[in-house]
Structure 1
Amino acid sequence: MTLIDTHAHIYDAQFEDREEMLQRAEKQQISQIWMPNCARETVSGMMDLADQYPDRCLPMMGLHPAYVNDTFEEELAVVADQLNRNAFMAVGEIGLDFYWDMTYVDQQFVAFERQLRWAAEQKLPVSMHTRSGHGRNAFAEAADLIEKLGLTGLTGIFHCFVGTLAEANRAIDLGFKLGVGGVSTFKNGGLDTVLPQIGLEHLVLETDAPYLAPVPYLGKRNEPSYLQLIAQRVADLKQISIDDVARHTTANALSLLPALYANLLPE
């Protein structure tokens, strides 16, 4: 049984024990860890890990919506340069964040659309952040934009999916997978009534480490080795074996890998 963590910020400074953390993940049969970028300040640490573990730690490139500010054009220039010079498995972490601050929402939309177009042009999947707040539904507005753009072949993951069944079906209809993380283990997370109604073929697993640690580590630093707990929660909710969850979610994740990562696909 192997698992893929499709979203983890393992380059974060909280991982002072990075080597030990990666060893724990390996012991828990986490075969790959996909690393979303946040901004230019996170590129070097992420790429160092990608260079050190090319078959295990796979990098994405993108500008996180929470990092969009007055310098977003400069940040996007870095993203464009990196996408043109280096190999990445996805464009991410991109999207919309209405939770903390609405000051740069217009700029978030500009950055989101531009990066969606780059992903479609380069035939890369996207990892999307959609956090609602201030009376606005980030998932709905992201889905609206994707529908409006109609970009051929665009696919990817709605990272940290916490929506309704209707929203899940809308994401699936758009051709996207749903990223299931630690929230699925929360008592009031809301996914206990949604996940049983969604086919395994639409799900991938993630930790979002170092954030959103699953129960029983709620409130503590998250790490990829805890992905087993999320897989077990999905198995319990769907009343199937954890082996079935691992097999399907791993296959789903691998199906998103672009052609340049063909060496990581099973023969």
Structure 2
Amino acid sequence: MIITDTHTHLYSDAFAEDRAEMIQRAIDAKVTRFFIPAIDSTYTSSMLQLEKDFPKHVFLMMGLHPTSVKENYKEELAHVEEFLAARKFIAVGEIGIDLYWDKSTLGIQIEAFRHQINLAKQYKLPIVIHCREAFDEIFQVLEEEKSDDLYGIFHCFTGTLEQAKQAISYNMKLGIGGVVTFKNGKIDQFLNQIDLKHIVLETDSPYLSPTPYRGKRNESAYITRVLEKLSELYGLSQEEIASITTENSKAIFGI
């Protein structure tokens, strides 16, 4: 069985004391493919080192996270452009809009999001979307930019059934993580109405730990809890869920 974690911040300082051991725990749990989203230029060297240390397991994205879209966002976008031109990445991400922390930057967040969508099209790469309290704004940009060469993953999907269908209509898979195990997560109430071909698994570690680890540091090995929940919801074996979602990840990332 191969399990794929399509979204994990393995370079996070939260793993500074035991990164190698934490990654080995995941590999021992059959989680052997780790897709690493970018945040901003301050993390690039850590990401590159991670890839160097685990070349068979770690695959890097490049992008500017919406909460890092600040006064210097044009410099940060130039950094993204420089690295996309210099070497291979498997996606542009994570990108999008976050209105939870700062609504005042909405204008430049939209500009950065749209710019990076066009970079993804230029390099024929998928996008990985971060959306927090911004479904309407995200969907508006996707509607304006939609095309056959726009595709990717709607990371950490926490919306409604209607929003799930809308995201899928823009060639997006739904990234499902720890939230599906929460009592108040809500997506467990309708997820089995979504065909598994539209689903990929993720942890977003060190954030959003699944039950029973909620409130503690998340790690990629805990994706097995997400797998268990989807097995329950879809009435399929964990092996089947792992196989289908891994194949879905290959369809997106091409690797």
Question: What TM-score results when the alignment is normalised by the length of structure 2?
Answer: 0.97
Give the residue type in structure 1 aligned to 2:235.
Q
Does the 8 Å contact 1:4/1:253 carry over to 2? yes
3-state SS of paired residue (2:60): strand
Who is 1:265 aligned against?
none
Who is 1:36 aligned against?
37
Hey, what's the Cα distance between the residues in 2 that align with 1:14 and 1:104?
Answer: 27
Q: How many residues align?
A: 254
Residue 96 of structure 2 is aligned to residue 95 of structure 1: yes
Who is 2:81 aligned against?
80
Aligned residue among 222, 227, 234 for 1:226 = 222
Give the residue type in structure 1 aligned to 2:20.
E
Who is 1:165 aligned against?
161
3-state SS of paired residue (2:218): coil
Give the residue type in structure 2 aligned to 1:210.
P
Hey, what's the Cα distance between the residues in 2 that align with 1:150 and 1:62?
Answer: 19
Does the 8 Å contact 1:90/1:124 carry over to 2? yes
Hey, what's the Cα distance between the residues in 2 that align with 1:201 and 1:93?
Answer: 22
CA drift at 1:151? 3.7
3-state SS of paired residue (2:93): strand
Residue 241 of structure 2 is aligned to residue 245 of structure 1: yes
Who is 1:201 aligned against?
197
CA drift at 1:244? 1.2
Does the 8 Å contact 2:95/2:113 carry over to 1? yes
Hey, what's the Cα distance between the residues in 2 that align with 1:140 and 1:123?
Answer: 25
Hey, what's the Cα distance between the residues in 1 that align with 2:190 and 2:81?
Answer: 37
Deviation digits for residues 143-202 of structure 1, max 9, x if unmatched? Answer: 221111234411100000011111111111111100000000000000121211111100
Residue 148 of structure 2 is aligned to residue 147 of structure 1: no
CA drift at 1:52? 2.1
Does the 8 Å contact 1:182/1:214 carry over to 2? yes
Does the 8 Å contact 2:146/2:170 carry over to 1? no
Hey, what's the Cα distance between the residues in 2 that align with 1:119 and 1:103?
Answer: 26
Cα RMSD (Å): 0.9
Does the 8 Å contact 1:117/1:151 carry over to 2? no
Runs (4+) of structure 1 exceeding 4 A deviation are: none
Who is 2:188 aligned against?
192
Hey, what's the Cα distance between the residues in 1 that align with 2:48 and 2:125?
Answer: 18
Moved more, 234-243 or 246-255: 234-243
Does the 8 Å contact 2:40/2:65 carry over to 1? yes
Hey, what's the Cα distance between the residues in 2 that align with 1:127 and 1:99?
Answer: 18
Who is 1:135 aligned against?
none
Does the 8 Å contact 1:37/1:62 carry over to 2? yes
Hey, what's the Cα distance between the residues in 2 that align with 1:54 and 1:113?
Answer: 31
Hey, what's the Cα distance between the residues in 1 that align with 2:214 and 2:155?
Answer: 19
Does the 8 Å contact 1:201/1:249 carry over to 2? yes
